[in-house]
A and B are shown apart, each in its own frame.
Chain A
Amino acid sequence: MKKIEAIVKPFKLDEVKNALTKIGVQGMTVTEVKGFGRQKGHTEVYRGAEYKIDFLPKVKIELITGEELVTQIIETIERAAKTGKIGDGKIFISPVDDVIRIRTGERGKDAI
């Protein structure tokens, strides 16, 4: 099992979510996050006062999946979240040791 974390631009969330649902992803966790990478923040000026936008708002999508879907999920996220510009985000993939559904105690893939 793998955990896939994708950081995408906020306005791309619906697109990514729909694309993932279409390929059969059943659940995901979405968090509003802030941060910066190569796309640094910037300063805006309004009436002489500076307003700093240093951490840029992004959305983090997390999902756990079996190995067989990993490639397809990554491709889907890439396609849906891409604008071709800086700040499109990143995808992280990491191994997951085990999953437990609290209500039933099911473990492993059944619990995803």
Chain B
Amino acid sequence: MSSHSPSLPLIHARGLTKRFGTFTAVDAIDFDVAPGEAFGFLGPNGAGKTSTMRMVGCTSPATAGTLRILGMDPATQGPEIRGRLGVVPQADTLDEELTVRENLLIYGRYFGLSRAECGRRADELLDFAQLTERRNSRVEPLSGGMKRRLTIARSLINEPDVLLLDEPTTGLDPQARHLLWDRLYRLKQRGVTLVLTTHYMDEAEQLCDRLVVMDKAKIAAEGSPRSLIEQYSTREVAELRFPVGVQETLGDQLDGLADRVEHLPDRLLLYAEDGEAVAVAAHDRGLRPETVLVRRSTLEDVFLRLTGRSLVD
């Protein structure tokens, strides 16, 4: 049995590395996940998030470094660890030849549960996922949001200590996303540790207590959403859009206007504590943008600062 105690991190990684041949997918990263927190890996596609999750999920052996989950080493106790994890993969791996309820039953059996226990838990989880009415329906006609809820329900059949979610709301419409976030938030309230990957900054901000920003196989920054924004960005941002071709000509006119300036292909970002003031100052200098938008900083801005690119390619 594991020797994990509440004060130790649930997941501990030092120098964790994953290489496929000559390609390094994860490059010596360090992180810890505390019990009961919601921890996120934020980064664009190809950053190494999924590879990291697969190592944490004990389905992919690490090439180098230390990884401990619930105090156990995946190399020697993979099945035990998996028995206490819940996994929500990026693609719903639901069995379309079974009904909704059967998907839950079968999965529970893989954890060694008795049929009676599987049935009991399945019914509870159907309730949680709001799928009770569809329990005898085939899986194929369900909407994307329902399938995702089913996948999440399935991942809970073994009452896991840690739930791993890989891009949980990719491909879902806004309503479905919000419903999902609500369900995940309830789980968190009940003490389930959540580890998720995402490339949506709103998801990271909504769900995560702490997160790491990953890019090109490395961790670029770490902290709570708020602390990351405070550290790597200003409070507000003024977005200015100019007619085609004008933005490139601005040069000196922008000096000293704001704490930081970022040029994006379609607009100009001026970072400052007070966005309205900057917008006014820009106007005073003779800049005539077509549109002006003042907003608070987000994790997108953090990512831009750290890597020079936006989260969504």
Do chains A and B stick together as partners?
Answer: no
